[in-house]
Amino acid sequence: MPVPTLVAPVPDPGLPGRTRFSTDGVPSARRRAYWREALATTFGSVDMTVPDEVRFGTIRTAPLGRAQAVTVEGGPQTARRTRSLIASSDNEDFVVVKLLHRGGARVEQDARDNAVRPGQLFVYDMARPVRLTLPEPFETKSLVLPRAVLGLDESDLSRITASPLGPETPVGGLLAPFLSRLVDAAEVCPEPAGELVARNVVDLLTVLADERRGVDAQDSPSGARVLRARIRAHIDTHLADPDLTPATVARAHHISVRYLHKLFEGEGDGVTVGRWIQRRRLEECRRMLARRDGAGITVAGVAHRWGFSSPSHFGRVFRAAYGVSPADWRESAAPARTARAPRTEEAREPRRPAA
């Protein structure tokens, strides 16, 4: 994909691999070309139309293994991925899982044409023609996945494209808040951990494809994967509870502790349930220590907020995981907090969904 030549992406200070495209400072006559190239770099080449001119736009990206977490804010526009653009592309094709956080949208693909409301998510495949219309100022949060990572064949993938999912649906109720938190946390999430978390999105999309094909998730090969995804979503929701343990997790899902451990062993990465809980708590603490709205909270307070009952234990495991003390990490993140200057109130701090 071409890198915008008008204004290069801006690396986030202290956060390797994280970049930001912004039309701020780009002359109005050049913004359309810049924005088109920024979208192409992030998602793939598109034809773009806007009502008059590109007034503003910001794209923030962070790697999650082979996937990429993306937050986009912009004004009214329509983006089309045409057959000619697909045929001329030399790059890997992507599947985009997108949550509409603010604004309205309409997505067209695979003979479907559906409106999307805030809080709904949808999937589209950049290897087939797609049209996305955003008629008003918007904010979206996306996970961009290589098609090979998703592992669905053409027929299964076509069953889930351009079909909005809301929190009232079984899969949407799990996937929408999970995707939102994953994208928000990607800025400070270590890549290996981020890739593991992103795997849950893939698992849930596989289950969605099974449901559309009429296969009972309990009887399909993805049954264990969706149960793991549900368990991890439960863990994320209860991280602040110091009494969260493998036993309480197993009880909440009506399974034995032994079977719970067996589910996690099936991942093949050697991460136990207890280690997963600790890892997620550390990631949230690391994120809060790096944020402006966490600056007034003591290190011990941050640890307590995310379920650590002992500040000294928290300090030891934080250093073991990241190679620095919590206080040193907070201090090193301060320049990055100062350097990032979001343009709007809504862009300033991603909202954390209620538990």
> What mean pLDDT do residues 240-257 have?
90
- Does residue 212 fall inside a structural domain? yes
Query: Is residue 131 domain-shared with residue 33, that is, in the same domain?
Result: yes
- How many domains are there within the chain? 2
User: CATH no. for residue 208?
Assistant: 2.60.120.10
Mean pLDDT, the chain, integer? 82
- Does residue 351 fall inside a structural domain? no
Which residues neighbour 126 within 8 Å (Cβ) at sequence distance 6 or greater?
43, 44, 81, 86, 93, 94, 95, 96
Query: Is residue 246 domain-shared with residue 310, that is, in the same domain?
Result: yes
pLDDT(345) > 70:
no
Helix (H) or strand (E) holding 184: helix 170-185
pLDDT digits (tens, 9 = 90+) for 221-237: 456 777 787 888 889 88
Q: What domain range includes position 73? A: 19-219
Query: Is residue 73 domain-shared with residue 198, that is, in the same domain?
Result: yes
- Does residue 277 fall inside a structural domain? yes
- Does residue 45 fall inside a structural domain? yes
pLDDT(350) > 60:
no
Amino acid of residue 328: D
Q: Tell me, what's the pLDDT at 304?
A: 94
Torsional class of 151: left (φ above 0), alpha (ψ -120 to 50), beta (otherwise): left
Helix (H) or strand (E) holding 276: helix 273-290
pLDDT(351) > 80:
no
pLDDT digits (tens, 9 = 90+) for 40-84: 889 988 998 887 776 789 999 998 888 899 999 999 999 999 999
pLDDT(98) > 80:
yes
- Does residue 166 fall inside a structural domain? yes
Q: Tell me, what's the pLDDT at 216?
A: 46
The two beta strands, 10-11 and 57-64, are unpaired
Residues in the chain: 355
- Boundary of a domain, candidates 198, 219, 240: 219
Q: Tell me, what's the pLDDT at 341?
A: 43
- 60-69, 85-94, 205-214: segment of lowest average pLDDT: 205-214
pLDDT digits (tens, 9 = 90+) for 305-317: 999 999 999 999 9
Query: Is residue 130 domain-shared with residue 274, that is, in the same domain?
Result: no
The two beta strands, 47-49 and 67-74, are unpaired
Amino acid of residue 242: P
Query: Is residue 258 domain-shared with residue 163, that is, in the same domain?
Result: no
Query: Is residue 91 domain-shared with residue 237, that is, in the same domain?
Result: no
- Does residue 77 fall inside a structural domain? yes
Q: Tell me, what's the pLDDT at 290?
A: 86
Q: Tell me, what's the pLDDT at 5?
A: 46
Q: Tell me, what's the pLDDT at 336?
A: 54
What pTM value is reported for the model?
0.63
> What mean pLDDT do residues 226-253 have?
88
pLDDT(343) > 60:
no
Query: Is residue 88 domain-shared with residue 200, that is, in the same domain?
Result: yes
Query: Is residue 184 domain-shared with residue 86, that is, in the same domain?
Result: yes
Q: Tell me, what's the pLDDT at 217?
A: 46
> 265: helix, coil or strand?
helix
CA distances (Å), 130 to each of 82, 92, 102, 204, 251, in order? 7, 16, 21, 22, 44
Beta strands in 29-66 (DSSP E): 47-49, 57-64
CA 349 to chain centre: 15
Q: Which of 173, 160, 170, 176 is nearest to 209 (CA)?
A: 160
pLDDT(338) > 70:
no
- Does residue 7 fall inside a structural domain? no
pLDDT digits (tens, 9 = 90+) for 187-197: 776 666 666 67
Query: Is residue 89 domain-shared with residue 178, that is, in the same domain?
Result: yes
Query: Is residue 206 domain-shared with residue 226, that is, in the same domain?
Result: no
Query: Is residue 80 domain-shared with residue 215, that is, in the same domain?
Result: yes
User: CATH no. for residue 286?
Assistant: 1.10.10.60
Q: Tell me, what's the pLDDT at 224?
A: 72
> What mean pLDDT do residues 126-142 have?
95
pLDDT(175) > 70:
yes
- Does residue 353 fall inside a structural domain? no
Beta strands in the chain (DSSP E): 10-11, 19-22, 47-49, 57-64, 67-74, 77-81, 94-102, 105-109, 112-116, 121-125, 130-134, 138-146
Query: Is residue 186 domain-shared with residue 167, that is, in the same domain?
Result: yes
Q: Which of 319, 69, 338, 58 is nearest to 188 (CA)?
A: 69
Label residue 93 by pLDDT band (50, 70, 90).
confident
- Boundary of a domain, candidates 183, 203, 219: 219
